[in-house]
């Protein structure tokens, strides 16, 4: 419970000119049991990440109100002494359900929350609930004493392709109290670096951690393109074509490509890199080998 709030840690690392390394894992839903989540957390913890974030289920499957995300975030801190970030989506949520979730987080000692809008539940086409945007959730997190993280989108949110509007949304999140940002995945470092530069010119002053997801299968990368709106640069398309009938080689090539991204981002002096591990220890280990052990 004594783990440092992530925003403060990121600012300390920035002052020391040390890029941070963090990992993301999924909650125990479906085939991932609580016991398996503990195994994944232990495999990530030995790599000494600066923090581990725990998602809610994707595709509108939940906003963290079932307690799974909070429970894992607390476990990471309590059992492995690694700072954690619990994701909290607000789409469809009421102020009471959010208040209940935040009270549970406080009771468990979770100090940092990633404020997200989230996906509409499957089959639902209209927004319902007390919150419209993640920006609406951030003030409540700050009032309750949490460190607040928020998402940033190098290629624009899938529902907002205008980059100028995306930057305005980013500024609104910072004004609402966001302590740091983590970017959505992108497969081209130029997209990430140009976005960070544009954010700085737009007076975004809080740390920006750059997200990278290795592609390990054709179905996974296809899903990410449709879910997140990520574009595929030519080198990725060529790898997909080369290893179309060789899944093992494609997975290895995808991890190596992501490691190249991480190496390039660190060399450019970004505040930190965040690896979407998909609960795979081999992905996390490869990332740690690239980002120098402190």
Q: What does each C-alpha distance from 112 to 74, 214, 266 come to in angstroms? A: 11, 25, 24
Segment 268-282 shows an average pLDDT of: 96
pLDDT score recorded for residue 200: 97
pLDDT score recorded for residue 121: 58
More confident residue, 62 or 139: 139
Residues 6+ apart with CB under 8 A from 177: 138, 139, 141, 142, 148
Q: Mind listing the pLDDT tens digit for each residue in 27-59?
A: 755 556 778 889 999 999 999 999 999 998 544
pLDDT score recorded for residue 26: 83
Q: Mind listing the pLDDT tens digit for each residue in 68-90?
A: 899 999 999 999 999 999 999 99
pLDDT score recorded for residue 162: 76
Task: Enumerate the β-bridge partners of residue 86.
Answer: 54, 113
**What's the pLDDT band for 250 if we cut at 50, 70, 90?**
very high
Radius of gyration over every alpha carbon of the chain, rounded to an integer in angstroms:
18
Say if residues 124 and 168 touch (Cβ distance below 8 Å). no
Highest mean pLDDT among 22-31, 34-43, 246-255: 246-255
pLDDT score recorded for residue 60: 40
Q: pLDDT at residue 92 above 90?
A: no
Say if residues 258 and 213 touch (Cβ distance below 8 Å). yes
**What's the pLDDT band for 223 if we cut at 50, 70, 90?**
confident
Say if residues 206 and 6 touch (Cβ distance below 8 Å). no
pLDDT score recorded for residue 58: 45
Segment 174-200 shows an average pLDDT of: 97
């Amino acid at each position: 419970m004594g783990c440092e709030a992530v925003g403060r840690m990121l600012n300390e690392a920035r002052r020391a000119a040390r890029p941070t390394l963090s990992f993301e894992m999924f909650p125990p839903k479906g085939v991932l049991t609580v016991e398996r989540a503990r195994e994944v957390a232990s495999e990530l913890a030995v790599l000494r990440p600066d923090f581990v974030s725990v998602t809610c289920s994707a595709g509108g499957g939940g906003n963290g109100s079932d307690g799974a995300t909070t429970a894992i975030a607390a476990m990471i801190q309590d059992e492995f002494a690694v700072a954690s970030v619990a994701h909290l989506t607000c789409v469809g949520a009421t102020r009471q359900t959010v208040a209940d979730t935040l009270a549970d987080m406080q009771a468990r000692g979770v100090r940092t929350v990633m404020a997200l809008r989230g996906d509409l539940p499957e089959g639902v086409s209209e927004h319902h609930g007390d919150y419209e945007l993640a920006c609406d959730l951030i003030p409540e997190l700050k009032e309750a004493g949490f460190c607040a993280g928020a998402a940033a989108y190098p290629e624009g949110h899938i529902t907002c392709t205008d980059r100028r509007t995306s930057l305005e949304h980013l500024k609104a999140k910072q004004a609402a109290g966001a302590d740091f940002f983590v970017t959505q995945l992108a497969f081209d470092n130029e997209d990430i670096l140009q976005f960070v530069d544009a954010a700085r010119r737009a007076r975004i002053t809080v740390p920006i951690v750059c997200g990278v997801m290795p592609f390990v299968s054709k179905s996974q990368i296809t899903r990410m393109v449709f879910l997140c709106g990520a574009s595929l640069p030519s080198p990725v398309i060529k790898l997909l074509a080369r290893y179309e009938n060789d899944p093992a080689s494609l997975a290895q090539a995808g991890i190596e490509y992501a490691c190249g991204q991480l190496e390039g981002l660190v060399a450019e002096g970004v505040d930190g890199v965040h690896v979407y591990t998909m609960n795979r220890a081999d992905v996390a280990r490869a990332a740690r080998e690239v980002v120098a052990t402190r």
